[in-house]
């Protein structure tokens, strides 16, 4: 199918459910949802908000690969060695881990949703709460016959990716069991945030919580002290996390605020230097580049951090990430709810 035909088809589809498609906002600025070809001819959707923020979504993986603020600054990390070539998952952005997170099951690591082609959902069921967001795309993943052989369940995974007027990025997942029998799954938004220098970053909202340490056979520990900082490899699953988590990047004077719903766990991962080098789709040059710019005691550490959320909620998982200036930090800090307990289970749907 030619690009033109494909775009035309999608435009037609958007006409049905995108109130914001192709219209002029009150200010006279245009918001848009555009379909085009991305790297290696893969189909992508570009969302643009009136004030200048934007996001890019590849149908391959249903994956957000770019999120820019209204100054055009990229907020997500994508490796320069990311292949954008099926069947390999795209290294960076926001991969969707489904129906299995990590290696907790019989499937390949993080399940198959991140390396399947999703389609544009032309007829999504209505959302329980109406949103004022006009710039969004709805994607749909259904299992193929081949998928049925490795995971014998029938489902519809609907993902809405929306860009708010203030530049917030919002992902909402709705998973429906179209089978007659119950199935279990685990799910995560595996978000790669772009940060200036990992040694300048701290995460607030996870202190004093319990976590399972993947570097110590998933043994359970309790986080001590203040906010999380990074000095070496980290691969931890925090349990029963608060609905708000913040990532503070001192060098960039930027704070990411994550608000979530139906996503109890939060995972923090940074491969650090040794593991980063072992990943074929994580660039050596990029790593050198980071080396060049690294300062202080953590010289040599990769400038990338990952924080993602896994869900035990059967049918909805919302993640909103926003960017705030440092001024907003105190506000965020004082509004954290720190909860204890353990609530990590597989979600199941009947």
| Residue 83 lies near ligand G6P (rule: CB under 6 A) | no
Q: State both tokens at 11.
A: 């435009």
Cβ neighbours of residue 199 closer than 8 Å, sequence gap 6 or more: 229, 230, 231, 294, 295, 296, 297, 298, 301
| Residue 171 lies near ligand G6P (rule: CB under 6 A) | no
What are the b/e assignments for 311-337, b being 16+ CB within 10 Å? bbebebbbbbbbbbeeeebeebeeebe
**CB 310 → ligand G6P: shortest distance, Å?**
10
| Residue 184 lies near ligand G6P (rule: CB under 6 A) | no
DSSP annotation string for 200-234: GEEEES-TT-EEEEGGGTTEEEE--SSSEE-SS-E
Position among 245, 263, 267, 294 found at the interface with ligand G6P (CB under 6 A):
267
| Residue 77 lies near ligand G6P (rule: CB under 6 A) | no
- β-sheet bridge partners, residue 159: 139, 173
- Which residue number, 54 or 173, has a Cβ lying nearer to ligand G6P? 173
Q: Is 163 exposed, middle or buried (0-12, 13-18, 19+ CB in 10 A)?
A: buried
Stretch that binds ligand G6P, among 37-45, 59-67, 102-110, 192-200 (CB under 6 A): 102-110
Distance CA 109, CA 99 (A): 10
- Which residue number, 18 or 192, has a Cβ lying nearer to ligand G6P? 192
| Residue 76 lies near ligand G6P (rule: CB under 6 A) | no
**Using alpha carbons only, what angle is made at residue 142 by residues 65 and 111, rounded to the nearest 5 degrees?**
60
| Residue 239 lies near ligand G6P (rule: CB under 6 A) | no
| Residue 211 lies near ligand G6P (rule: CB under 6 A) | no
- Which residue number, 102 or 177, has a Cβ lying nearer to ligand G6P? 102
Of residues 15 through 34, those in contact with ligand G6P by CB under 6 A are none
**CB 97 → ligand G6P: shortest distance, Å?**
8
**CB 350 → ligand G6P: shortest distance, Å?**
29
**CB 308 → ligand G6P: shortest distance, Å?**
7
Position among 48, 110, 174, 260 found at the interface with ligand G6P (CB under 6 A):
110
What is the SS3 assignment for 44-88?
A: EEEEECCCCCEEEEECECCEEEEEECCCCCECECECCCCCCCCCC
| Residue 109 lies near ligand G6P (rule: CB under 6 A) | yes
Where on the phi/psi map is residue 277: left (φ > 0), alpha (ψ -120 to 50), or beta? alpha
| Residue 214 lies near ligand G6P (rule: CB under 6 A) | yes
**Three-class SS of residue 90?**
coil
| Residue 115 lies near ligand G6P (rule: CB under 6 A) | no
Distance CA 237, CA 85 (A): 29
Position among 235, 260, 290, 314 found at the interface with ligand G6P (CB under 6 A):
235
Of residues 295 through 334, those in contact with ligand G6P by CB under 6 A are 306
| Residue 199 lies near ligand G6P (rule: CB under 6 A) | no
**CB 18 → ligand G6P: shortest distance, Å?**
31
Q: What stretch of H or E contains 6?
A: helix 3-17
**Interface positions with ligand G6P (CB under 6 A):** 102, 109-110, 214, 235, 267, 269, 306
């Amino acid at each position: 199918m030619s690009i033109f035909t494909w775009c035309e088809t999608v435009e037609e589809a958007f006409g049905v459910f995108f109130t914001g498609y192709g219209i002029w906002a009150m200010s006279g600025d245009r918001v848009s949802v555009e379909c085009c070809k991305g790297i290696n001819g893969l189909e992508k959707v570009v969302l643009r908000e009136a004030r200048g923020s934007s996001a890019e979504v590849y149908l391959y993986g249903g994956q957000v690969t770019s999120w820019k603020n209204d100054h055009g600054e990229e907020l997500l990390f994508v490796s320069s060695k990311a292949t954008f070539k099926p069947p390999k998952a795209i290294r960076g952005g926001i991969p969707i881990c489904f129906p299995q997170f990590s290696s907790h099951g019989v499937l390949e690591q993080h399940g198959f949703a991140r390396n399947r082609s999703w389609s544009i959902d032309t007829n999504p069921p209505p959302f329980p709460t109406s949103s004022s967001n006009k710039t969004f795309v709805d994607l749909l993943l259904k299992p193929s016959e081949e998928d049925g052989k490795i995971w014998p369940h029938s489902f519809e995974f609907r993902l809405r990716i929306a860009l708010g007027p203030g530049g917030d990025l919002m992902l909402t997942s709705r998973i429906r069991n179209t089978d007659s029998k119950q199935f279990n799954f685990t799910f995560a938004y595996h978000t790669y945030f772009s940060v200036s220098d990992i040694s300048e970053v701290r995460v607030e909202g996870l202190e004093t919580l319990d976590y399972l340490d993947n570097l110590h056979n998933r043994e359970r520990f309790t986080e001590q002290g203040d906010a999380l900082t990074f000095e070496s490899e980290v691969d931890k699953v925090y349990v029963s996390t608060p609905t708000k988590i913040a990532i503070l990047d001192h060098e960039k004077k930027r704070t990411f605020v994550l608000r979530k719903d139906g996503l109890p766990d939060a995972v923090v991962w940074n491969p650090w230097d040794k593991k980063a080098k072992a990943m074929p789709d994580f660039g050596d040059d990029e790593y050198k580049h980071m080396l060049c710019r690294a300062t202080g005691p953590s010289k040599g550490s990769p400038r990338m951090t990952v924080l993602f959320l896994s869900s035990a909620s059967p049918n909805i998982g919302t993640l909103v990430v926003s960017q705030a200036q440092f001024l907003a930090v105190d506000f965020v800090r004082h509004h954290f709810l720190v909860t204890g307990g353990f609530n990590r289970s597989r979600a199941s749907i009947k």
